[in-house]
Amino acid sequence: MTDTLERPSGEGPSEEHLTMGIDPWEKNWMKLSAGLLVVFAVLITIAGFAAGFQLPGAESEVDPRTVANEGPWAEPGLRDLGDGKFEAYVISQLWSFSPRELVVPIDAEVDLYVTSIDLQHGFKITDTNVNMQIVPGQVSVLTYTFDEVGEFPYICHEYCGEGHAAMFGVVNVVSESEFAEEVGA
């Protein structure tokens, strides 16, 4: 037979079309889409509340013209707050970070305060979830606990001109004893 694609004579549109029935495949896609929304909502909730993911926020405002000369960024680097807590002040500028190296002891919980004195930069620490945009006049903050010994380079990931690729530094996570030596030295 060659006429299998033709509607048999005498029959109108199928029942399904008249009742605006939904194609089973389309129905499945709708279910899948709705299911994915639920999955994403659950994952975001877990990330935010159980896994401690944070959105980098604009903590406060500073004057980019003076921030390198007065206040905590005048001496960028790490501060020991006691109880395994630290603060790090980092300045971004064309085309470097100050400091270029942060030495922290293992399991240090570090509040990272980063700002820029010229234009927009990025601050991403490799192999961590620290990833911020750095806007002049604003302070970007994230807290991270370094629970692994090793070197974690931080890079500018916001294109900022010809020296962009050379704009990086490193977090050096060391053992307690090495850190004691470093601080004592």
Out of 104, 112, 142, 160, the only residue in the binding site for ligand CUA (CB under 6 A) is 160
For residues 54 and 143, is the Cβ–Cβ distance under 8 A?
yes
- Tokens matching residue 51: 């896994």
Residue 153 in contact with ligand CUA, rule: CB under 6 A: no
Query: What would the x/- binding string for ligand CUA be over residues 69 to 108, using CB under 6 A?
Result: --------------------------x-------------
Out of 79, 164, 168, 178, the only residue in the binding site for ligand CUA (CB under 6 A) is 164
Instruction: Number of residues interacting with ligand CUA: please give it, by CB under 6 A.
Output: 8
**What distances in angstroms separate CA 164 from CA 8, 15, 120, 138, 174, one per listed residue?**
70, 64, 11, 20, 28
Residue 156 in contact with ligand CUA, rule: CB under 6 A: yes
Q: HSE of 121 in the Cβ direction (CA atoms, 13 Å)?
A: 32
Q: Where are the alpha helices (DSSP H) in 50-132?
A: none
Measured distance CA(171)–CA(119) in Å, rounded: 23
Residue 159 in contact with ligand CUA, rule: CB under 6 A: yes
Segment interacting with ligand CUA, rule: CB under 6 A, options 12-20, 29-37, 39-47, 153-161: 153-161
Residues in contact with ligand CUA by CB under 6 A are 95, 121, 156, 158-160, 164, 167
